[in-house]
Amino acid sequence: MIRALRRRPVLMIGAFTTTLLTAVALLSLFWTPFPPTKIQILQRLKPPLEQGLLGTDQFGRDVASMLMAGAWNSLSIAFAAVLIGATVGTAIGLVVSVRRGWLEMLVMRACDVIFAVPPILSAMVLGAFIGAGRFTAIIAIATFMVPVFARLTLAAALQIWTRAYVHAAIGMGRSPLKITVVHVLPNIANQIVVQVTIQLGLAILTEAGLSYLGLGLAPPAPTWGRMLADAQTFFGQAPWLALLPGMAIALAVTGFSLLGDGLRDMLDPRSR
Amino acid sequence: MISLLLRRTVSLFVTLLVVSALIFLVMGLLPGDPASIMLGTSASPDTLAALRSELGLDQSLPVRYLSWLGSALQGDLGRSYTYSVPVAGLIADRLAVTLPLALMAILMSVAIAVPLGVQAARHHNRPIDVAISLFSYVGIAVPAFWIGLLLILTFATTLGWLPASGFPGWGAGLGAALKTLALPAVALAIPQAAVLTRVTRSAVLENINEDFVRTARAKGLGETTAIWRHALPAALVPVLTMLGLQFTFLVAGAVLVENVFNLPGLGRLAFQSLSQRDIIVMQNVVLFFAAIVIIMNFIVDLAYLVVDPRLRAAEQ
């Protein structure tokens, strides 16, 4: 363990942080110190350790419990969005790598276009029509992820298609679908896994922004972003309310980007 | 060079057309009638019908798009439903806040990132490099709007040096206006600077042992001059690329930061139009932001060709 930590500190710190956060998020489904939405107005705005581990908010809700439930809300939205974005994007990239020509140009232009609309804005558009909530947040973030994975997959797959063993497979009369499944996908899987990890961090960051603006989960479900929005009103009295959720976001995002960098160094030694 | 420029410009306009058509299509296909979204559930059928025909919703989607495109090309983006003013003027007013804010943020981020990146590369794998890498990891992970909150907490609430929110308008004097933009610009700049620092560091590292830098050292230039005058310019292409790619995130950050600081900019306008259900304003602001990102990427593309003669040769 210690030797592994010394050899790959980035990977180990990233893996530790993200595992811990995921465990806390899962734990919050079964147990939190207090019910995260329970209002106790007499205990409002108590500083950390005076009431509960991390104090209470303006309604007397337990901040530690809210942060735990917030971890689940944030991580589950981020995982769902990245999973959808990665699956759709990778599929598009693979198809385009087989049928190039005008399709490639069309898809790449479309990627440019989608990439030009930040998820915050597409969530606003979606929110106006179908209302804010988990679904809107996931779709807005996933849409932004599609071009990221489509571009990555296309670039990586095109390289594989030039390899000698793929030419041999073509010569043997293997179908493009079979070659994609047997040769291309396994050889680019590493890069996709690394990108998934890195994008998870970005998705958490985006989800926090969305829920700060009120475009994420509806209240009273606790989210890190809305905790920050609420904290703004009670700055002078309760600065910890503004500090803790921000630190949770930063910890989660740093964890996933460290994990992603560590995985890349381990899986692809040429990248360094 | 000219034909290359022409080709790029044509492709820029095609992309812009596609963006506008796509946004129009998506908004047309989404469930829900814009007129009833704008008026709410209590509207009478007559007002609803009147607004529908005013918005042209009784026509087909392609017809609406073409008529919108026709008037947009003449500078008429429609009228805001809530403010009853032309959308184009509304966007121009708000741009007077967002544009200076974005420029300040970009300048600050470059001013932070380039020296830090160069120092990190120069002291590769030494404590100063590790410290700078740590800054860039954390800087990327910290949401811009949270930095904004912390800045307000420190410099406005506690120290009282700078205003916490609002914008007095450019009419109140340059100093007063810039003072209110300072904290939001820092909040926007720090995450950008973190990303740029990483890119600058690795780009300088790639060039620091190149022959031309060694030659510069060999002819007696100091290490500082060798790096700043020779290694850094060669490293600028990836830095510029990142600056262009980051524009989407700068826009997203501006939407959030303007809301934190209550600045009457475009990002705040986008958010207000959402809560006021002003679909026309929202559609145009989204389109405007997308167009800015695409045009910025176009400019960066052109900037490469100026910075790196090798690319110019390869393209021709």
A61-111 confidence digits (pLDDT tens): 777 888 888 899 999 999 999 999 999 999 999 999 988 888 888 888 888
Q: What is the pLDDT of residues B11-27, one digit of tens each?
A: 888 888 888 888 888 77
Average pLDDT over residues B123-147: 88
Query: DSSP character for B155?
Result: I
Chain B hits for A231, Cβ within 8 Å? 149
Q: Interface pTM (ipTM) of the complex? A: 0.84
Q: What is the pLDDT of residues B200-235, one digit of tens each?
A: 888 888 877 777 777 877 787 777 777 777 777 777
Q: Any CB–CB contact under 8 A between B83 and chain A?
A: no
Listed by start position, the domains of chain B span: 2-73, 87-315
pLDDT mean across residues, chain A: 85
**DSSP output for B220-253:** T--HHHIIIIIIHHHHHHHHHHHHHHTHHHHHHH
Q: Any CB–CB contact under 8 A between B23 and chain A?
A: yes
Residues 181-220 of B with CB under 8 A from A: none
Q: Is residue A269 predicted with pLDDT exceeding 70?
A: no
Long-range contacts of B182-186 (CB under 8 A, 24+ apart): B182/B104, B183/B148, B183/B151, B183/B152, B183/B155, B183/B156, B183/B261, B184/B101, B184/B148, B184/B257, B184/B258, B184/B260, B184/B261, B184/B263, B185/B101, B185/B104, B185/B105, B185/B108, B186/B105, B186/B108, B186/B147, B186/B151
Chain B hits for A115, Cβ within 8 Å? 248, 293
What is the residue type of B75?
G
In whole angstroms, what is the distance from residue A64 CA to residue A44 CA? 14
In chain A, what are the helix, strand and coil shares in percent, each to the nearest 5? 75, 0, 25
Q: B254 vs A238, which has greater pLDDT?
A: B254
Q: Mutate one of B146, B190, B274, B285 to test the A interface: name it (highest A CB count within 10 A).
A: B146
Long-range contacts of B123-130 (CB under 8 A, 24+ apart): B124/B205, B124/B208, B129/B201
Q: Is residue A251 predicted with pLDDT exceeding 50?
A: yes
Q: Is residue A129 predicted with pLDDT exceeding 90?
A: no
- The pLDDT-based confidence of A10 (bands split at 50, 70, 90) is confident
Residues B239, A196: contact at Cβ < 8 Å?
Answer: no
In whole angstroms, what is the distance from residue B122 CA to residue B189 CA? 23
In chain B, what are the helix, strand and coil shares in percent, each to the nearest 5? 80, 0, 20
Q: Specify the pLDDT at position A153.
A: 92
Q: Specify the pLDDT at position B185.
A: 92
Distances (CA, A) of A60 to A69, A72, A93, B149: 16, 21, 50, 22
Q: Mutate one of A129, A199, A224, A234 to test the B interface: name it (highest B CB count within 10 A).
A: A129
Domains in chain A (CATH in brackets) are 67-267 (1.10.3720.10)
For B87-315, CATH number?
1.10.3720.10
Q: Mutate one of B145, B190, B266 to test the A interface: name it (highest A CB count within 10 A).
A: B145
pLDDT mean across residues, chain B: 82
Q: Any CB–CB contact under 8 A between B142 and chain A?
A: yes
Report the residue of chain A nearest B298, measured CA to CA.
Answer: A112
Distance from CA of A211 to the nearest CA of B (A): 11
Residues A77, A141: contact at Cβ < 8 Å?
Answer: yes
Report the residue of chain B nearest A243, measured CA to CA.
Answer: B150
B234 Cβ partners below 8 Å, 6+ apart?
Answer: B207, B210, B212
Whole-angstrom distance between the N-terminal and C-terminal Cα of chain A?
A: 24
Distance from CA of B225 to the nearest CA of A (A): 27
Average pLDDT over residues B53-76: 79
Q: What is the pLDDT of residues B142-158, one digit of tens each?
A: 988 899 888 888 887 77
Q: Is residue A56 predicted with pLDDT exceeding 90?
A: no
Q: Any CB–CB contact under 8 A between B159 and chain A?
A: no
Q: What is the pLDDT of residues B230-240, one digit of tens each?
A: 777 777 777 87
Q: Is residue A270 predicted with pLDDT exceeding 70?
A: no
Residues A235, A251: contact at Cβ < 8 Å?
Answer: no
Model pTM?
0.86
Q: Is residue A271 predicted with pLDDT exceeding 60?
A: no
